[in-house]
Amino acid sequence: MRLMVMMIWDMMVFVLMFVVGNLIFVSKYKHLLIVLLSLEFLVLSIFFFLLIFFSFLEYDMYMLMVFLVFSVCEGALGLSILVSMIRTHGNDYFQSFNLL
């Protein structure tokens, strides 16, 4: 019974994190850094969900390490794009540069 209550609580926290991350991603489109931070928050919420899911099934946590490796690579790629855009355009506003 206690395990099920903890599982429901963790799932509610995951859903709240995921919804907040999506709201920030949709509403704060002025700066590229805020968009990248919201994407990292979404990755963190998905990681939390996978942690809950794999521990509930008593599954091996090896896939979480693979997920973390890919999410770190995604974060490094986003930061490199941010730095290159700031160097070429002088700021990280979406309105100041043309992506086409």
Give the pLDDT confidence score for residue 100 in this predicted structure: 46
Please report, for the domain that includes residue 73, its CATH number.
Answer: 1.10.287.3510
Number of domains within the chain: 1
Give the pLDDT confidence score for residue 28 in this predicted structure: 66
Residues of the chain with pLDDT under 50: 100
Residue 27 burial (CB < 10 Å; 0-12/13-18/19+)?
A: exposed
Give the integer Cα–Cα distance in Å for 6 and 3: 5
Range of the domain at 27: 1-96
Give the integer Cα–Cα distance in Å for 31 and 93: 5
Task: Kindly give, in sequence order, each residue whose CB lies less than 8 Å from that of residue 47, ignoring residues fewer than 6 positions away.
Answer: 64, 67, 68, 71
